[in-house]
Copies of this chain bind each other. A is one copy, B any other.
Amino acid sequence: MADLSRQSKPLFPIGVVQELTELSARQIRYYEDQGLIKPERTETKRRLYSFNDVDRLLTTKEYLDKGLNIAGIRHLLDETVVREAVVPEIDKKDMTDGELYKLLKNQLKEAGRPGKTSLIQGELGRFFK
C-alpha cells in the first residue's frame, strides 16, 4: 500500500501548482470540476493541492496531449492497478471517432516510449528535473 500521508498531504496553493504543471488556473479548476482531482480546502476556502494531485494533473496533461478526452482520463486515473499497455484499456465508448483517430495517430509516434509514466512512479522524482 502506498504511503498516503506523504503523497496526499495538502501543501500547495494553486499558484505553485501552475508553476509545477504549466497549466492555467482555469485548467486546474476545470479538471477539478471534472472530478480528476479533489484538492483540500483551507478553512477560508482556498485550495491546497498534494503531490498526488500534481501528479494527476501532469498525467492529465500528458493524455490530453495524446488526444484523450477528460472522460477517458477520468477512467484512467481511477484505475488503481497499473496496466502494461502503453495506453491501457481506454474506454472507447467515451471517445468520438476523431478522438480515437488522434489517439491512434499519437500511438504511432509514441510507440516504444515509456508512456505509462506517472501511474508507476512513486514519490517525487517526477516533479524535479
Contact = CB atoms under 8 A, between A and B. Distances in A.
A85 interface: no
Nearest to A11: B16
A1 to B, nearest CB: 15
For chain A, which range describes its interface: under 10, 10 to 19, 20 to 34, or 35 or more residues? 10 to 19
A118 B69 CA distance: 45
A129 interface: yes
A83 B15 CA distance: 39
17 contacts: A5-B128, A5-B129, A6-B124, A6-B127, A6-B128, A9-B127, A9-B128, A11-B11, A11-B12, A11-B16, A12-B12, A12-B16, A13-B13, A13-B15, A13-B16, A16-B48, A124-B124
